[in-house]
Structures are given as structure tokens and as C-alpha cells.
Amino acid sequence: MAFSPSIREPINKQIATVQPLWSHAYFPRVETRDHLCMLVAITVASAFAVPLTELHAQTRRQQMVAFARQSAMYLAHVVLGLTLTEIGRAFGRDRTTAAYACARVETLRDDPGVDAELEALEHACRLIKANHSAVQRVAVA
């Protein structure tokens, strides 16, 4: 089991190896960028073993929850290409908060352990994006 060096909490690394929660079986018609952002949040919440509702809570919460939320915002920006405004709206935050989250996570990636964890989550998010594209192609056909 991997541990985040910055928070010393276990990270669930099996997220990309099990039947994904975000698969078409659960979400047959993913249509908007907000839905994509929600799927990233579900993936990150699962990986960090944090309730999804905590990622969208209005207060900061514990350090582990805050880092999970910042990671989800970062992944939505880097992998999905969402704007900071879109990310802020999806998480109930301001775009400047999303910008801070992205900067903080990018800084923490200097740590090899954090970088490895985020790389695994990036892979899972790329799968989400690919699944979204495939569903869109099928829906159009």
C-alpha cells in the first residue's frame, strides 16, 4: 500500500485495476464537462478513501480531504483540460482556489511518492476521458 509522504495516509492504488465506478455501466451518458469533473472526483475520492461529499464540502476539512480535493482539481485541469473557472464551479469554489490547488499539487509532485500516486490517478483519469469519448461516439452514431 502506498502512503502519501505529505500526509502519511494510505492511498488505494487498486483504483485503475478494478471495475471502474465511472464505467458506462454506472454512467451510460456522460455528456458535460461537469460530469467529467464529477467522475474525476469519484475516482480521487475512492483512491484517497474520502467520502465524495467531503470533496464538495464548503469548508476546508482535514488535511487529507483538502489534499484529495486539490488533487481532483489538478487532475481535472491537467488531464481533462478544464478551465480553472469550470473546475471551481464544479467543486463549489472560486477559480483562484482551483489555481491555488493546481499550484500546490504541482509543487508536491517534486516528492517521488506523491508523483507516483498522482501518475496512477492521471492514468485512471485518462481512462475516464477515453471512456467519455467512446460513449460520445456511440451516442452520436
pLDDT digits (tens, 9 = 90+) for 39-97: 899 999 999 999 999 888 887 778 889 999 999 999 999 999 999 999 998 898 999 99
Output the CA torsion sign for 89, 110, 78, 47.
negative
Q: What phi and psi values does residue 3 have, to the nearest 5 degrees?
A: -125, 140
Question: Cα separation of 83 and 89, whole Å?
Answer: 10
DSSP state of 79: T
Q: Which pLDDT value is given to residue 37?
A: 87
Which single residue is written with the C-alpha cell 508523483? 115
Is CATH 3.40.50.2300 correct for 23-140? no
Whether 141 shows a pLDDT value over 60: the answer reads no
Whether 1 shows a pLDDT value over 70: the answer reads no
Task: Provide the 10 A C-beta neighbour count for residue 126.
Answer: 14
| Domain spans of the chain, in order of start | 23-140
Provide the whole-model pTM.
0.74
C-alpha count within 13 angstroms, C-beta hemisphere, residue 134: 10
Whether 18 shows a pLDDT value over 60: the answer reads no
- Comparing 37 with 33, the larger pLDDT belongs to 37
